[in-house]
Structure 1
Amino acid sequence: MTKRGTTRKAAASGPVLSTRDLNRATLERQLLLQRSSLGAKAAVGHLLGLQAQNVKPPYYALAARLDGFGPEELSGLMADREVVRIVSMRSTIHTHTADDCLILRPLVQPARDRELTNFRTGLAGVDLDRLATLARELVEAEPRTMKQLREALIAEWPDADPQSLGIAARCRLPLVQVTPRGLWGRSGQVALTTAEHWLGRPAEPTPAPDATVLRYLAAFGPASVKDMQTWAGLTRLRDAFERLRPQLVTFRDENGVELFDLPDAPRPDADTPAPPRFLPEFDNLLLSHADRTRVVPPEYRGRSWVGNMLYCTFLVDGFLAGVWKLEEGALVIEPFDALTKGRRAEVVEEGERMLATMHPGTSYDIRFGTVIR
């Protein structure tokens, strides 16, 4: 029997972990239960990247997680090509360390190949191997915007759909966004070259997923096979979990779904205090499990977005509790439900800390109001 939003019920053994157990374990792995002393590069590596459709979310994601973080730290790593912006998991842009860019992008290449089947009509008559070769030559000669790349490719295949040609280049090649795009306080249009060219070294051969399974559990566990498949945008990962089973421990969630974990990974008590945290839109905490109830209460599912607009969120007691935004001179906080006076004070205090980290020297009012309109 299959339950929507969870993996199949396995004939699982092991202790049952409650939703709060899973919440606290995940927050600890995500560096959100208590702030970490890690540097930005080490944190990006531990977290297996940060979702980055927009420029600012990775900076806010680290501000919520790290003690002593300043935006210039991540920006400097990007300028020095130690971290990069690239389409990887779930066909979305992530900020990865250079090493992970060259490992994780090959790992998810099967998903990018599958993505291309949605565009076969617009690519009729296009030799995809030749397209990849031509696109590589173009972007390695000089970084190109996607518009420039499409225009060059349509000259070769005038009957093809220009949008599909651009997507094919993005799927077949590991295209990174070159700086100044992504730098804090700077602006720049998206210009692309290959990861190998930007980083000066080749990508890894397509790796077996086993090492990444262990890293995923370290950052997001305890987790099911389907949880990791949701995070990676891949299928057929059960074989890797089964190979690793002898060195893992297993649990069950409250629905009987089998969960895997590293034996020595932290699993704090369910009553461990979880201070408020302000998260950016697209934070991986909310997107990296098939069953998100460990962080998102069922009654709040779908409350943090409207159409294709996803809002910044905040946590109270470890769970999604509302949304926030910065507008002219104010941090506006909208809880999904009433907060006690004590909770409101804690949220304001965390908001003040976030503002001091991300916008030092700028004065903001903090008020509770309406964010979603």
Structure 2
Amino acid sequence: MDIFTNRDLELLTQERTGMCVSLFLRTGVTGSQVQQDSINFNNMLAAIQEELVALGMDRPAARNFIKPARALLSDNAFWQFPSKGLALFLAEGFFRPYRLPIAFDDMLVVAGRFHLKPLLTLLAGDSEYYLLVLSQSKIRLFHGSRFGLAKVNVPGVPEAMKEAVSQEQNEAFQQYQVRPGKGTPRDERRDDENISRYFPQVNEGLHGLLRDKSSPLVIAGVEYLLSLYRQANTYPGLLPGEIKGNLDALRAEALHEKAWPLVEPLLRRRREEAQEELQRMISTGKASTSAPEIVSASYQGRVSILLVSGRRHEWGKVDRSKGATVSHLCRREEEGCEDLYDFAAVHTLLKGGKVYVLEGDPAAKGAPIAAVFRH
């Protein structure tokens, strides 16, 4: 499973020459589905090649264009860690695949820029959260959304506490692994010392991973460890609610069932507050449902809140040299044509605004997009 951050978003929005291929594919989360995923992926690669040829690229050039993506078929390590969805971005001299917790509808878009709207729910203000499961044997970090959880690594932090302490401390740790009621007071002090050294490392690693995020964090584990971690924590998104108990044997699906009820009310409240703010501002001139106006405002960093339909598109040509004005509407296959809703959402996020992707519902007054401007 991969983490998709604002940095990835910024990378994918950079201007590129030639065709940009965006592929979204639903994949299985169990090893038994890997073979079928590989077959589906191979079929989609063939579809990419045919689409490129149909758009004027000669067949040898099209085969060479998709070569980096085709190499994934023989990359066993890549398929060993399945997720619910695969997002792949391919351009001349550029290739990025992401394994993500979204069960995408299969989609292929070949245009002048990458199509990013299916990813926006990962960065939206009403979806993303993290779960940290603590135990004395190991820690597990999960990246979650309304779609479920997927395990991720904390960079630079050993998963097991015994790997993070010195050999002398580790010997004491081995004498006392189960609490409470076992071990001498000295053993318990040593154990506390080991945890007190380890949890700040975990906290620091989380800060490095989540440094551009404000997503809620839920912690889970036995009450004793939860208390010690709260003492070490400095991440502002840590929620007061927590999951108590020994959870070492629980899989991601069961953990999500326990964590989502703690997170969902907060995320739903954020979305409702955004919609209420829109209704207050829509008659004051400080909000809009005009796609061209919103596109320009998002590029200039003037959008505070954006609500957008996840299933609607409007294509147009955007002149960045003139403040991202929309020169005219166009068909997707035209050179330089972009999804205006995609553009507005991406640039709102990159400029520090909040984006809420609605499941096919109009953002306001029947419009598929609406924005509140910064005062």
TM exceeding 0.5: no
TM-score range, shorter chain: under 0.3
With the length of structure 2 as denominator, give the TM-score of the two structures.
Answer: 0.26
Structure with more of its chain in strand, by fraction: 2
If asked which structure has higher relative contact order (CA below 8 Å, sep 6+), I would say: 1
